[in-house]
Amino acid sequence: MLQIVMDAALIALAFIVSFFIRFDGHIAKTFFEQILIFTPLVVAMQLCANWVFGVYRRLWRYTGLTEIMELGCTVGIVTTILTALRASSILTVRGNQISFGIISINLGLCFLLLSGPRILRRLQTEHRQRRHWRQPIRKRALLIGAGDAGQLVLRELVQRPDLGVDVVGLIDDDPQKLKKRIGNLTVFGTTSDIGRLAEDLSIDQVIIAMPSAPASEIRRIVDVCREAEVETRILPGLFELINGKVSVNQLREVSLEDLLGRDPVQLDNASIAGYLEGKTVLVTGAGGSIGSELCRQIMRYQPKTILLLGKGENSIFMIVEELKPRPEPVKLIPVIADIRDETRMANIFEKFRPQVVIHAAAHKHVPLMEANVPEAITNNVFGTKVVADLANQYRVETFVLVSSDKAVNPTSVMGATKRIAELVVQDVASRSKTKYVAVRFGNVLASRGSVIPLWRNQIAAGGPVTVTHPEATRYFMLIPEAVQLILQAGALGAGGEIFVLDMGKPVKIVDLANDLIKFSGLRPGQDIKIEFIGLRPGEKLYEELLTAEEGLTQTSYEKIFVGKPQPLAPSILTDSILQLKDDVQNDDERQIRTCLGSLVGGQLSLAERTV
């Protein structure tokens, strides 16, 4: 509307000045009447011509040769019509016709006055960009989500011009919000209108501000944006916004994780705080993907102390440095130790007296453990036994074992060791006042050793992307989501339970690879080939969360189930662990596999494996 009003004034000015130029500033009364009568006509004709040629769908800041040519065409057409009317003696007032000279002068003046402001606006934009060359080029954006999160993001974007994002409108699927104005912005349409709006409003970027949106909805929006050829940014889901603050600094590209996330977990924060607040909490494997996220989330519940225990000094250093600036008054104590070192671990328990132990330390790489069987046994079995026994000895209140779905009908050494770790914990729980629980879940997306970094490197190298089998499926979970449920399970247990997390629907590995290729801006099968290499040692085609014997019982939380424990006779478990110790000392891999098979069942191969 501003463009139209401004153009109307300039068109009228050009026509009036044409009279002054033609008559050298001395205008007779008759010609004043011509000005009064014909000025509205000329303005209306020129505005209509501009509208028909799409002049008002252009942004002045992007004025170029195309826009100038459009103005030239509209002014030329109006001049031609005026000339034809003059030749037909229609433009007559009191017997005096409008001068051909006035029409000719108006042609040049109107073109110059309409083009001038547009060119000046373009020059102003370029000058500002040159002046602020260190800042990003400004992008026109649509914000999806006219709710609370959207308003917070919008408010901060307005306060942060250095980010180079101008939000020009809102999108929301709530029909009651359509065409409403929120602040100075209009809700232009729904997500199905993105393609049209991107074209009409010259949109460069779409920002998704819906933290609780399901993955299916995010996938649909991303597909629409891909078709419209606009980039997408997303506010992280509620799993990631654990500090309760929504910030534009957290806006990022839509990732594979966003397409696999599910509805947010409804936590009972009071029950979690009940066993963490004011306590000394020991997290083993604190430098790993799960362990470090455990520390981040545990801090929210303000324990007195967190002991961050790990064997790798660099990873422990990194997580401690990350957590130090956090506002929670929690004492952080880095502990470099090997869980297999019974003397060292006993000294740690004696010195710090932890009240809660969350045992996340483990070797998890299936192929690597197939090639290093003794190491898997000593770390995953003997290390777990050391920590579990010390928890009992030092009267720890709650012990949580982070287990794996690979412990179900294990076909790998890693899976077998995790199942034995569960049996060890159940055995100690049967004779202890400490509350022992195990939490079993599937693959964690983007954890260390995840296939995603490998695929990214393969895509960067031009492919091919390697997939084990076209029908291979896996359960996937996001790290923050898994950790939240681990903490909740710790509050639920009475002792000896194996909790199973709801992993949603299994995902085909090949579909995941296709999505990642698309996110890289490439076409699967054309730009990047997918190569099937066969299942690796110890891998399953499909994975399970429970054996048939364990069954499944619903807890008070819809995403957490409890399996019926299948303990082993203590004498059998003790004898088997002693046998494993002898076999490990003798480095007898074949005998280790035989012992594992007899102890936990499954389909372990007796042959030696290589990566």
pLDDT tens digits for range 396-407: 999 999 988 788
606 located within any domain = no
Cis omega (within 30 of 0) for bond into 464: yes
Indicate if 107 and 147 belong to the same structural domain: no
Among the listed residues 2, 91, 11, 83, the one whose alpha carbon sits nearest the alpha carbon of residue 47:
11
Q: How many Cβ atoms sit within 10 Å of the Cβ of residue 168?
A: 17
Do residue 147 and residue 126 come from a single domain? no
Rounded-to-5 percentages of helix, strand, coil across the chain: 50, 15, 35
Quick check: is 207 in a domain?
yes
Predicted pLDDT at 282:
96
**Domain that includes residue 8, residue range:** 2-131
Residue ending a domain, among 254, 285, 310, is 254
Residue 198 belongs to domain with CATH number: 3.40.50.720
Interval 22-62: pLDDT, tens:
877 777 676 777 778 888 888 888 888 888 887 777 776 66
Contact 291, 317 (CB under 8 A): no
Q: What is the pLDDT of residue 607?
A: 41
Q: Domain check: are 208 and 282 in the same one?
A: no
Question: Are 206 and 108 part of one and the same domain?
Answer: no
**Quick one: CA dihedral 49, 54, 59, 65, positive or negative?**
negative
Residue 420 lies in a domain: yes
Is 512 strand, coil or helix? helix
Q: Is 263 inside any structural domain?
A: no
Residue 231 and residue 207 in contact, taking contact as beta carbons nearer than 8 Å: no
Residues 224 and 116 in one domain: no
- Please indicate, yes or no, if residue 607 is contained in any of the structural domains: no
* DSSP type of residue 310: E
- Domain match, 317 and 376 both: yes
Looking at residue 447, its pLDDT comes to 58
Count of domains forming the chain:
3
* 165 SS3 class: strand
Instruction: Quote the DSSP letter at residue 160.
Output: -
Rg (CA), the chain: 35
Same domain, 399 and 542: yes
H or E stretch covering 96:
strand 96-97
Does 78 reside within a domain?
yes
Domain boundary (199, 220, 254) is at 254
User: In angstroms, rounded to a whole number, what is the distance separating the alpha carbons of residues 290 and 480?
Assistant: 8
Specify the DSSP class assigned to residue 162: G
| Residue where one domain finishes, among candidates 109, 131, 153 | 131
311 and 440 housed in the same domain: yes
What pLDDT score was predicted for residue 280?
Answer: 95
- Same domain as 83, residue 162: no
Within a domain: 611: no
Do 512 and 435 lie in one domain? The reply is yes
Residues 389 and 498 in one domain: yes
Is there a single domain that holds both residue 29 and residue 69?
Answer: yes
Residue of 146, 91, 589, 65 lying closest to 369 (CA atoms): 589
Angle of helix 570-585 versus helix 413-429 axis, rounded to 10 = 140
Residues of the chain with pLDDT under 50: 132-135, 238-248, 546-549, 605-611
Question: CA 243, 247, 250: angle at the middle one, nearest 5?
Answer: 85
Taking the C-alpha atoms of residue 553 and residue 564, their distance in angstroms, rounded to an integer, is: 8
In a domain, residue 610? The reply is: no
